Amino acid sequence: MNRWHDFAAAGELAEGGCLRKDLDGITIAVFRVDGALHAIEDACTHDGGRLTGGTRDGCRIVCPRHGAAFDLRTGTVLAPPAYGPLTTFAARTVDDRIEIAIPDDF
């Protein structure tokens, strides 16, 4: 089961932008790409470094440390040295607030 958590005002996240925040001890980054929200744990699966400092092209994000690339929509690895997928979270907008779903067992 998921618990929805308030993340930010929807107006704080512009198209093409990113917001990063800690929720329940998890560092989450939310991106708005083509109007859709994509939420990930902000940690490269290769070495745990922040992804939010990396380059992004659409839904592809590249880790600034070693160049691992991921799909923001699915967490799928697109380029090594990472081999494990990113943790992704459901995201939605309710009453002009962005909410993130974190599984109870996370």
**Which pTM value belongs to this model?**
0.95
User: Which domains can be identified in the chain, with CATH numbers?
Assistant: 2-103 (2.102.10.10)
Strands across the sheet with 69-71, in order? 55-57, 60-62, 69-71, 77-79
Predicted confidence (pLDDT) per residue in 85-99, tens digit: 999 999 999 999 999
Predicted confidence (pLDDT) per residue in 55-105, tens digit: 999 999 999 999 999 999 999 999 999 999 999 999 999 999 999 999 988
Cβ neighbours of 47 (radius 10 Å): 12
Is the backbone of residue 75 left (phi > 0), alpha (psi -120 to 50) or beta? left
Query: What are φ and ψ of residue 11, in 5° steps?
Result: -70, -15
